[in-house]
Amino acid sequence: MRRITWTVVAVTTVLVLALPALAQEGQDTCDWYWDYNYVKSGGWEYWCWNPTLGWWYSTNGKSKSTAVQVQG
């Protein structure tokens, strides 16, 4: 009986820790990065990573155009 209890506790612990990470897997991650795409001399630009599509994207903040950089 103890072995079954410990197995249930171990499986529950693994699921509790793994499920939030799996839920975030498909979400875009955005942050400020130093780049030269919009600021030719270099500057902080806001880029987002899409893990589902496998690319970075950003906008210059003034238009609806989007720059895409494919990670290869």
Inter-residue contact 41 to 31 (CB < 8 Å): no
Segment 35-61 shows an average pLDDT of: 79
How much is the mean pLDDT over the chain? 74
Task: Name the one residue in this structure whose structure tokens are 């612990």.
Answer: 13
Q: Give the pLDDT band (50/70/90) at residue 52.
A: confident
45 forms beta bridges with 33
Q: What is the pLDDT of residues 13-43, one digit of tens each?
A: 766 666 565 555 677 888 888 888 777 788 8
**Least confident window among 10-14, 20-24, 52-56:** 20-24
Inter-residue contact 51 to 26 (CB < 8 Å): yes
What amino acid occupies position 69? Answer: Q
Cα separations in angstroms, 21 against 52, 56, 67: 15, 21, 28
